[in-house]
Amino acid sequence: MFGMGMPEMLVIMVVALVVLGPKRLPELARTLGKAMAEFRRQTTDIMDEFQQQARVDEEAARRPKPPPTPRTDGETPKSET
């Protein structure tokens, strides 16, 4: 994981335990875990929304366009004059 082996992870854990203390370390781990879970959930929601919109756009592109309807007021559109 990130090019770190077990000895490096152990050193980091010991330093964190010494710096934060045994009371604050579990709180920090819990808070970090909740934040990561929320970030992952938000990321998944955004990706789902993008995929849904992409499907809607693809379906709209596949549908044939309806033919233009003739004008009933007797005038020709300005682009034809």
Mean pLDDT over 8-19 rounds to: 88
DSSP per-residue codes, 36-74: HHHHHHHHHHHHHHHHHHHHHHHHHHHSPPPPPPPPSSS
Q: 28-37, 38-47, 68-77 — which is least confidently predicted?
A: 68-77
Query: Which residue bears the tokens 């592109």?
Result: 61
How many CA within 13 A on the CB side of residue 37? 6
Q: What predicted TM-score, i.e. pTM, was given to this entire model?
A: 0.53
pLDDT given at position 3: 77
Give the residue, 80 or 71, on which the prediction is more confident: 71
Query: Which residue bears the tokens 């499907």?
Result: 55
pLDDT given at position 62: 86
